């Protein structure tokens, strides 16, 4: 749905005039100033001084706004958290605002998915251009339906951004040329907002298969599209998805680079321990991967950006029980929204390292299941050795709350493992419990994606990505994941955010699709390639990461890093996925009452 | 005549505020936002700032009474305060805020206390000057504004 469509007929001709902005800032002076400036730009402004209120408004009707501007420092919720939540659940462009121009904060904003970062005091000129973020999103998301309307929009929206409009138009033309049906995938509620291709597990699987077949370097959208042979999918959809996917891979590989050498799988066995994974074939590898995935997830924030819940789950998964002593780098922010982890948040406070203790508290939360023990957060700083302390938190599915957000995925291989292990554990443990399973599945899947990549070091992460990136929303996940992966420094925060609250809604959609995918990939895909010692250098070129060293390491098979294998065994993955998918779907629906195909407000 | 005289008064009052460094160009932005739809925008926002900043000042004072000083928290409070001050163009106030934050970073207790005194001083001085300025300005009415959530039409 185009902006105009959302807004109503009157406004169609006048974009960016009348663009609906939600401004959030606890400081009344700044808020009033923002309000005045935005009105001067002729936007439709809604203000609130509470982030919670803002979220509520957005949840009620995501279509009510085109853009969100939020302060970073707010008492009731960290701006970054809000950013993640909004970006993840609602896929709205968010601009951050702060009195602090510290580049680190700016970086944080970007990695958390902000489209822009403004420094107070805000000036009118800066606000005059913010509408471009709305257009950019529309263009990138490539709405499929109503290209005519889009055309109209383009022509009308011309005043401000000729280039953007033209680009829009050009894309629309291409769309029309390429797509046959074009609207199929948008026939769900979410299409009201924005016609986006929903990257279901199946779709993504096909995508991954196609990319794998072509080879990562050679994979071109047109060819992928042909290989996929899916009606209604346009080259643009594929291109955008591919871009995100690649970013993700890059990020993961980058992360993997940072991961401490696995150091020897001294704890290879610990991986094993972690993941009984009966049900999942080779989940053991998962555990090892988990470590890697942690690294991948370091930028929890990034994951947050992922449209799909997978991002979220990852975070949660990241905190595998393995890490007993992870240094908790979770920022308090994460906790704010984590209903689930009420107890955990305390532990995640910046300096606390008590990941283990938290896990038990989540039993009550159903959603927490989704977030299998995210001890991950802890992992960030954990040494590898510590990583495999062998804790098995997963036994308790609820514990898995995972939302603990892996947060610190950055840089430690152990982190990734945790993720993996947790996921794997999760899988194992929850095998019997449908409810848990579903929740677990998702995260695992997600983690899986990541962990896989991580374990291999770079490779594993990459593979994981490939396997997992379930894009609930048009490839958002993948893209996001990639971004996240690259941002090692991104810590749990993001994870935290996704954890719960926001994810409940999001998870429905995301999880339903992701879950199946995740599971599939996690269970099947990863298992296959992950088998210990079974690292094939043969993973598709896709994951060619920069760490040849790791590859070797992986070959040792001690850690059973998935690395490379993930792609190599796409078939396995597929099989696994199929299997899991069914299970997941079953569970998910039952458990969370999700309608896999109803993406609801979250695009 | 009378009007011209008043206008001159207003102008000179305004100019001196800028010249003496009490206000910067951000204040001009505020003035730009004042129009027929928002005839008292500047005064409203300044009033809002002063009522809100009282609260912040109180917080800081309380924090400054707790030894040892929690520099982190103080820095946070000041960050907020600085944000609002800069939003209305309160130049000198902003500068003193920065000074305070430097002392926080250096964990300089005495420095913080002294800097905060300066902040309060500048804050009060500007308030007086602006009140005078508004008195001579065309629009004298003071609105009591709240930040409310408005429905986007």
Q: Which span out of A86-100, A577-591, B57-71 was modeled with the highest average pLDDT?
A: B57-71
Q: Which residues in chain A are closer than 8 Å to B79, comparing Cβ atoms?
A: 73, 99-100
Q: Which span out of A174-188, A542-556, B14-28 was modeled with the highest average pLDDT?
A: B14-28
Q: Distances from the Cα of B48 to the Cαs of A340, A539, B22, B30, B122, in angstroms? A: 38, 62, 18, 13, 17
> How many domains does chain B divide into?
1
Is B106 a domain residue?
Answer: yes
Is B123 a domain residue?
Answer: yes
pLDDT digits (tens, 9 = 90+) for A508-561: 443 344 444 434 443 333 333 333 333 343 333 333 334 444 334 434 434 333
> Across the interface, do A33 and B152 touch by the CB < 8 Å criterion?
no
* Domain encompassing residue B63: 40-148
pLDDT of residue A394: 40
pLDDT digits (tens, 9 = 90+) for A229-278: 887 888 888 888 888 888 888 877 776 676 654 444 444 444 444 434 34
Residues of chain B contacting A, Cβ within 8 Å: 26, 29-30, 32-33, 37-38, 41, 44-45, 48-49, 52-53, 76, 79-80, 82-84, 86-89, 145-153
Indicate the pLDDT class of residue A156, thresholds 50, 70 and 90.
very low
pLDDT digits (tens, 9 = 90+) for A122-154: 889 989 888 888 888 778 766 554 444 444 444
Is 90 exceeded by the pLDDT of residue B100? Answer: yes
| % of chain A at pLDDT higher than 70 | 31
Give the Cα separation of A459 and A564 in Å (integer).
5
Q: Which residues in chain B are closer than 8 Å to A60, comparing Cβ atoms?
A: none
**Angle A458-467/A235-258 helices, nearest 10 degrees?**
150
Strand, coil or helix: what is A98?
strand
Cross-chain CB nearest to A29 (options B41, B48, B146): B48
Give the Cα separation of A560 and A275 in Å (integer).
12
pLDDT of residue A507: 39
* Contact yes or no for A466/A566 (Cβ under 8 A): yes
pLDDT digits (tens, 9 = 90+) for A50-73: 999 998 899 888 788 999 999 998
What number of C-beta contacts closer than 8 Å exist between A and B?
A: 90
Residues 6+ apart with CB under 8 A from A459: A253, A256, A453, A535, A539, A543, A544, A545, A547, A550, A551, A554, A561, A562, A563, A564
> Across the interface, do B30 and A37 touch by the CB < 8 Å criterion?
no
pLDDT of residue A70: 93
Q: Which residues in chain A are closer than 8 Å to B148, comparing Cβ atoms?
A: 47
Q: Mind giving me the DSSP string for A528-597?
A: HHHSTT---TTS-GGG--S-HHHHHHHHH-SS---TTHHHHTHHHHHHHHHHHHHHHHHHHHHHH---TT
pLDDT of residue B138: 64
Run of H or E including A47: strand A44-48
Q: Is A235 exposed, middle or buried (0-12, 13-18, 19+ CB in 10 A)?
A: buried
Is B141 a domain residue?
Answer: yes
Q: How far is B25 from chain A (nearest CA, A)?
A: 10
CATH for B56 = 1.20.120.160
Residues 6+ apart with CB under 8 A from A360: A343, A396, A398, A399
Residues of chain A contacting B, Cβ within 8 Å: 20-22, 27-33, 36-37, 39-40, 44-49, 53, 57, 64-65, 73, 98-100, 120-124
* Contact yes or no for A313/A434 (Cβ under 8 A): no
> Across the interface, do A33 and B38 touch by the CB < 8 Å criterion?
no
pLDDT of residue A531: 37
Q: How far is B82 from chain A (nearest CA, A)?
A: 8
> Across the interface, do B26 and A121 touch by the CB < 8 Å criterion?
yes
Give the Cα separation of A105 and A35 in Å (integer).
24
| % of chain A at pLDDT higher than 90 | 9
Mean pLDDT of chain A: 55
pLDDT of residue B97: 94
Cross-chain CB nearest to A30 (options B38, B84, B149): B84
Q: Which residues in chain B are closer than 8 Å to A47, comparing Cβ atoms?
A: 147-150
Task: Classify the phi-psi angles of B89: left when phi > 0, otherwise alpha if psi is within -120 to 50, otherwise beta.
Answer: left
Q: How far is B6 from chain A (nearest CA, A)?
A: 28
Interface test with A, best of B29, B31, B41, B83 (most A CBs within 10 A): B83
Cross-chain CB nearest to A99 (options B30, B52, B83): B83
Is B24 a domain residue?
Answer: no
Interface test with B, best of A20, A23, A30 (most B CBs within 10 A): A30
pLDDT of residue A86: 86
Is 50 exceeded by the pLDDT of residue A588? Answer: no
Q: Which residues in chain B are closer than 8 Å to A37, comparing Cβ atoms?
A: 29, 33
Is B20 a domain residue?
Answer: no
Indicate the pLDDT class of residue A2, thresholds 50, 70 and 90.
low
Token code pair at residue B149: 């959530």
């Amino acid at each position: 749905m185009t902006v105009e469509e959302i807004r109503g007929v009157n406004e169609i001709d006048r974009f960016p005039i009348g663009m609906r902005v939600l401004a959030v800032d606890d400081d009344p002076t700044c808020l009033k100033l923002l309000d005045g400036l935005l009105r001067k730009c002729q936007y439709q402004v809604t203000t609130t001084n509470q982030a919670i209120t803002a979220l509520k408004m957005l949840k009620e009707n995501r279509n009510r706004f085109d853009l969100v501007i939020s302060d970073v420092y707010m008492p009731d919720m960290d701006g970054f958290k809000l950013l993640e939540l909004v970006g993840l659940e609602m896929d709205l462009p968010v601009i951050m605002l702060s009195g602090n121009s510290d580049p680190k904060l700016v970086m944080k904003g970007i990695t958390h998915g902000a489209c822009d970062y403004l420094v107070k005091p805000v000036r009118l000129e800066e606000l005059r251009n913010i509408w471009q973020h709305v257009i950019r999103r529309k263009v990138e998301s490539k709405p499929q339906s109503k290209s005519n309307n889009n055309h109209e929009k383009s022509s009308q929206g011309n005043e401000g951004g000729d280039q953007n409009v033209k680009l829009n138009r050009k894309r629309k033309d291409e769309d029309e040329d390429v797509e046959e049906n074009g609207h199929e995938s948008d026939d769900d509620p979410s299409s009201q907002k924005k016609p986006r291709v929903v990257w279901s597990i199946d779709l993504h699987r096909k995508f991954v298969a196609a990319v794998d077949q072509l080879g990562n370097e050679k994979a071109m959208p047109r060819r992928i599209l042909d290989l996929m042979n899916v009606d209604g999918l346009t080259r643009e959809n594929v291109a955008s998805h591919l871009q995100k996917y690649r970013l993700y891979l890059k990020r993961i590989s980058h992360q993997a680079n940072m991961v401490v050498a696995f150091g020897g799988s001294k704890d290879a066995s610990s991986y094993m321990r972690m993941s009984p994974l009966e049900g999942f074939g080779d989940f053991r590898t998962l555990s090892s991967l988990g470590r890697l995935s942690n690294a991948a997830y370091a930028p929890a924030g990034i994951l947050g950006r992922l449209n799909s819940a997978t991002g979220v789950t990852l975070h949660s998964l990241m905190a595998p029980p393995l890490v007993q002593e992870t240094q908790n780098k979770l920022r308090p922010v994460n906790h704010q929204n984590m209903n689930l982890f009420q107890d955990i948040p305390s532990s995640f406070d910046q300096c606390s390292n008590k990941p283990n203790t938290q896990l038990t508290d989540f039993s009550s939360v159903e959603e927490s299941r989704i977030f299998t023990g995210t001890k991950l957060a802890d992992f960030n700083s954990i040494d590898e050795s510590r990583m495999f302390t062998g804790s098995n938190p997963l036994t308790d599915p609820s514990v898995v709350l995972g939302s603990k957000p892996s947060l610190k995925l950055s840089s430690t291989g152990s982190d990734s493992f945790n993720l993996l292990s947790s996921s794997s554990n999760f899988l194992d443990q929850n095998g019997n419990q449908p409810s848990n399973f579903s929740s677990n599945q998702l995260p695992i899947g997600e983690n899986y994606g990541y962990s896989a990549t991580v374990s291999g070091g770079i490779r594993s992460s990459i593979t994981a990505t490939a396997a997992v990136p379930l894009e609930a929303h048009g490839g958002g996940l993948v893209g996001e994941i990639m971004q996240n992966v690259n941002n090692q420094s991104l810590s749990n925060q993001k994870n935290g955010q996704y954890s719960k609250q926001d994810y409940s809604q999001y998870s429905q959609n995301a999880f339903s699709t992701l879950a199946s995918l995740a599971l599939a990939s996690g269970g099947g895909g990863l298992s296959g390639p992950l088998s210990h010692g079974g690292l094939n250098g043969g993973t598709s070129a896709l994951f060619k990461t920069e760490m040849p060293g790791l590859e070797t390491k992986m070959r040792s098979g001690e850690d059973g890093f998935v690395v490379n294998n993930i792609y190599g065994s796409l078939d396995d993955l597929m099989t696994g996925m199929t299997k899991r998918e069914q299970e997941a779907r079953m569970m998910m629906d039952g458990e969370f009452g999700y309608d896999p195909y109803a993406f609801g407000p979250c695009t | 005549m009378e009007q011209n005289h008043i206008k001159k008064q207003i102008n000179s009052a305004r100019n001196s505020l800028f010249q003496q460094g009490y206000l910067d160009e951000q204040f001009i932005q505020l003035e730009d936002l004042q129009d027929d739809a928002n005839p008292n925008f500047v005064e409203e926002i300044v009033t809002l700032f002063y009522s809100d900043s009282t609260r912040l000042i109180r917080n800081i004072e309380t924090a400054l009474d707790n030894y040892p000083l929690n520099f982190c928290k103080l820095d946070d409070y000041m960050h907020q305060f600085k944000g609002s001050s800069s939003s209305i163009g309160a130049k000198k106030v902003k500068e003193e805020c920065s000074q305070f934050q430097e002392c926080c970073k250096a964990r300089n207790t005495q420095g913080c206390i002294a800097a905060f005194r300066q902040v309060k001083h500048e804050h009060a001085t500007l308030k007086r000057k602006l009140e005078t300025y508004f008195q001579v300005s065309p629009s004298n009415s003071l609105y009591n504004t709240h930040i409310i959530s408005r429905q986007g039409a």
